[in-house]
Amino acid sequence: MTTVCGIDFGTSNSTIAIVKDGETLLVPVEGDHTTIPSAIFYPADGDAPVYGRAAMAAYTGADPGRLMRSLKSILGSDLILEKTAVGGRYITFEDILVGFLTRLKQTAERFAGEPIHDVVMGRPVHFVDGNEEVDARAQAKLADIAQAAGFERIAFQFEPIAAALSFEHGLTERELVFIADIGGGTADFSIVEVGPDRRDKADRASDILANDGIRVGGTNLDMRLSLATVMPHFGSRSLTKKGRDLPRWPFVDLATWHRIHAIATSANMITLKQILADCADAELFGRYVDVITRHRGHLIAAGVEQAKIDLSARDSVDIDLRAVVPRLTVHADAAAFETAIEDELERLAATVLATLRASGRADSDITTIFLTGGTSAVPAVRRVMTELLPGAAAKEGDLFNSVGFGLALEAKRRFV
């Protein structure tokens, strides 16, 4: 039997699962890990890039080179075709993504012991909010990237539907499930009829009652937490010599994973130095310019991301930024974090309600909320679903592998 696979290419983390000899298996993609951070590090000397945790380790260990992360966010934008300098050469962002998917494919083929030609790629319900043309372009570009990585037959499935298939895999009775797949870049919701009497149906269209999604994910929450707690230590509340606020864009870019790599252009550096010269008190913004000059911005983002994760279980944390600025630690607490993300929580709630309305079913009909994606572990995010659906049982899947496993089940249905 030919091996087929499903790939959950995520903003923050990625997984791949295969179906071989009828068995669905998660692939160890980095050591024993079945997830890999969607990160690539290009050494300055032009050596081969490294991926995942190894990429983050090379960067945090101050190896000379360039880190790229959260590149899924640029699918559908014109930036995907632009070239950027890595390892002493210029390559397109598209080629960078081809390299990452090729690495996933080769790892899965070694695990399977044979070539893999067929893949179901996961996709968010909306790559881009409110623009169907750009959304279609993003899927088409992802298909091009998968083909360039060596896949021949390429299909797509919504990530929350894949999560529903994963949830259904072990069910013994029928349920009406609200799927909440909230990852690094998007929040995707589906309402699906699932059960053992349905899983082998060739056509599941009638079981899918509603899909919706929004570009709110963990990277948005990271940005809000960073702007609220960390960026003031790099000058975000400083004033010019005429008493005006500094421009906002440098701080938004430094707080946003996929924008960090683009800050240090020649034009931007000229602008940043002009801003520095106009600061009434240049010390804090001087830190900012130093961070960009030394390409240490991802260390700040990583510290904030870890603080967000830790705040899921603790009331407060200290963000250790001493590797960026000597003796600098920044305090953050859960209450301030929830205040910082109020807009994102309201947008999530509105999308949940829109999904419920589109399904044509009463809230009380929902039996289960199935939570997956790393950002669904954030308590305030989880409360959005549980408070709007108080009668449904909240169940947590494998936060990082449910979608990939479900995509492999979909690949089995389509290709085997």
Q: Which residues contact 267 (CB under 8 A, 6 or more apart)?
A: none
- Tell me the pLDDT band of 145, cut-offs 50, 70 and 90: very high
Q: In the predicted model, is pLDDT for residue 385 greater than 70?
A: yes
Instruction: Give me the chain's average pLDDT, please.
Output: 94
Q: What is the pLDDT of residues 111-125, one digit of tens each?
A: 999 999 999 999 999
Which residues, including other chains, have CB under 8 Å from residue 64's CB and lie 6 or more apart? Answer: 43, 44, 45
pLDDT of residue 241: 96
Q: Per-residue pLDDT for 175 more than 90?
A: yes
Using one digit for the tens of pLDDT, what is the confidence trace for 396-410? Answer: 989 999 999 999 999
Q: Determine the Cα–Cα distance for residues 38 and 149; give it in Å rounded to an integer.
A: 16
What pLDDT is attached to residue 239? 97
Q: What is the pLDDT of residues 196-212, one digit of tens each?
A: 988 877 788 899 999 99
Is pLDDT above 80 for 101?
Answer: yes
**Mean pLDDT across 270-297:** 95
* HEC-encoded secondary structure of 189-223: EEEEEECCCCCCCCCCHHHEEEEEEECCCHHHHHH
**pLDDT higher than 90, residue 411:** yes
Q: What is the CA radius of gyration of the chain?
A: 22
Percent of the chain with pLDDT over 70: 100
pLDDT at residue 1 in the model = 67
Structural domains of the chain sorted by starting position, each given as residue range(s) with its CATH number in brackets: 4-159+404-415 (3.30.420.40), 173-217+344-397 (3.30.420.40), 219-340 (no CATH)
| Mean pLDDT of all residues in 138-164 | 96
pLDDT band at 373 (very low <50, low <70, confident <90, very high): very high
| Cα 249 from Cα 361, distance rounded (Å) | 43
Nearest to 218 by CA among 375, 80, 334: 375
Q: What angle do CA 271, 273, 276 make, to 5 degrees?
A: 115
Q: What 8-state DSSP symbol labels residue 49?
A: P
Pick the more confident residue, 126 or 149: 149
Range name among 76-80, 144-148, 269-273, 378-382 with the lowest pLDDT average:
76-80
Whether residue 129 has pLDDT greater than 90: no
Rounded Cα–Cα distance for residues 128 and 140 (Å): 13
Interval 211-254: pLDDT, tens: 999 999 999 999 999 999 999 999 999 999 999 999 999 999 99
pLDDT, mean of residues 178-204: 91
Mean of pLDDT values over 32-53: 94
9, 46, 51, 2: which is closest to 30 by C-alpha? 51
Residue type, 62: A
How confident is the model at residue 79, as a pLDDT? Answer: 81
